[in-house]
Amino acid sequence: MNAPHTPYAFPPSVLSQIAQLPSLPMIEIKVLWKQLFGNEIPNHNRQFLERRLAHKLQLIEFRKTNLNLLESNERRIQALIETGKLRSREKDYRPLAGSVLIRIYQDVEHRVMVEADGQYEYEGSRYASLSAIAREITGTRWSGPLFFGLAPVKTKVKKGAKR
């Protein structure tokens, strides 16, 4: 006997939604799959289904907060598929949102959190650039990406030096 089935209502947190996936009955997995993907489950491999559902839930949440980054990543992936080569991003030293940069300077550990809006949080204050934080820490002008180890150190070759 097939009783009408009401869709499962997930709690608000994506992490709690993902954590509950293994405990859901298979019928709930099927319903959730149909809600998120718009079609029937492709197979009955539970591990595969849970992983794909977890990815889709994260993607939906990420789209709400980081649409520009998501679109940029999708363009890069498409370019890689088409050409087989990924365009170089040599000068782009910006770390991903949520990254924590740690630098020990004069025996003091300094932690900087990268925010989703591209700003940086250091000791309760927000900064627009890593260079501003490096100056705050050292008292002198520094390249922020260089100070935090995100950019390579460029060595200058002296004129007349043997190579």
34, containing H or E segment: helix 26-37
Q: Name the token pair of 114.
A: 């990268």
Tell how far CA 67 is from the center of its chain: 12
Contact between 47 and 7 under an 8 Å Cβ cutoff? The reply is: no
Say what the pLDDT of residue 1 is. 46
Q: Which two tokens stand for residue 4?
A: 């009408």
Give residue-wise pLDDT tens across range 52-85. 999 999 888 888 877 777 788 888 888 888 887 6
Tokens 């990815």: give the residue. Answer: 55
Domain extents in the chain = 8-86, 100-147
For 71-122, the pLDDT digits (tens) are 888 888 888 888 876 656 556 677 877 888 999 999 999 999 988 888 899 9
Q: Is the overall model pTM greater than 0.85, yes or no?
A: no
